[in-house]
Structure 1
């Protein structure tokens, strides 16, 4: 019995060896190689990411100062326009007639003012009656003569004073008339200018209300300025705690996922909104340069850089565990304590314990 049991055990062992050789293709199983990486010098960044939508932070409603028939419409929704471009016009016949009439009124008032100034100057320079009285004539009736002279001088002086006052009043009236005429001309020119809509800033047309031949008023075109385009993204409570104004952001659009557009944080809402018991805070990220193909309402992803360090030693974050890394030296692995500072999204900054070029295990021991 004992001999049989031993023989059976040997046979079973032989079978197991054969099966093992067959399953491994005849070669012994080698231990998996540990992934390694070099200690490098470069940048370490940490970001918070969120999804959002592209929208106009501010839009402008453009129209005419008065109603009229739309005679020219040069844009449609989606068009990109430059500042100063003529977007639309209405019939300006009546407005031009008002300007012509106002200009004639100004010319007439100016002529009247010129005449009033001349009359006022003439009245002021006219000599009094006493100034032309002949000298001498001392007689027995000297007192009476003197009295008559004084009376005549006084009458002449009063007449002179009245003439000057009338001329001064006429001059003031003429000046007021000219001022009113000029104001009317300014208003008429403003109304004429209001028959044309020009783009106040470069931007994109969001909406157009009206067609050529229809009556148009104060709301015809909606324009979003180039600098007014933002991504409104929602961040969690933990994420928004790291956000600050003017932080750099990278924006990704679904129609071109390989492109990264630069931007920055321009607004962080102080109050959050609750959705499914999760509080989120909205933040606005503005484009540094808005893409020409940008579509309002399209989705976008933003990654805001909340901290960064440049020109520092770093290793993959997966290599650091409890302040230690595994370093490979001359084919042997040894554990080494390191000091770290910034733990980024991919790499961790090393301040001591390693040198540039050291080989470390990326997943520790």
Structure 2
């Protein structure tokens, strides 16, 4: 018996859907997939559907259908299809009736498409690879009902991921070491001339993650007045004296209009920091802010965990997560001046 393999031309597209009961069998095909879904339907439901289809559409009697199912269909499923379930990223029970799972998948695809378009426009924009673990943490910190404790816990986890990804964009040098087995390992040496700069006060929420990754790192502060669409007024700055000789990780969890970020970057450049030595780290970025920063500073790198829908009429990021500083530090607007005044500076 000859096996004929059909070949099809697939035209370029933003989304390509592959469907089939054995679609996960070939590892070469699995490696091409960005998301793998397994629709897990109850065995009784599968049997009922088969009985209905074969009796109504094919005119078979029930005894024949049951005999074929027990001898061939069910054993084949157990041997060849069910084992591929382990390769799935998401297992969807109840199939098309699971509207929550379907909505989650649709939203994930829409988010990836938006991020993909922005990254195609700006090669200096980096969005960390989204997983459903990351989406789950975003869901928690965006929920208005999430407690302060949980908000801080999951925000810190996301911030750590962003910081780690940002550090991966720093220059490195090759280095050889001797392992405990006496073997030579060829690796890399981290960039030594590094500092962080947080935009007060939300940016200070990212400092602990940076310190955890870079022991003894110097961290400077910048305070910029923000009101509506105006983020242009520099109020305060305290930066390391040798900052011009360092790579700078600029910290602010929210990139909205981009005005505050532009002001902070201009300050760093005025202090002698090369534009290419600045990496801007944030959790969420509005497209408007990305356009403003990337167009004005094409050599700066932006690392974020998600691209947002946009800004509303009050210049607030949507869907967003509210006032990040208030939710993270557990304060309201009336407390902000007091908190800023007592923010410790560490060098």
| TM-score between the two structures when normalised by the length of structure 2 | 0.22
- Greater helix percent: which structure? 2
| TM-score between the two structures when normalised by the length of structure 1 | 0.21
Query: Larger Rg: 1 or 2?
Result: 1
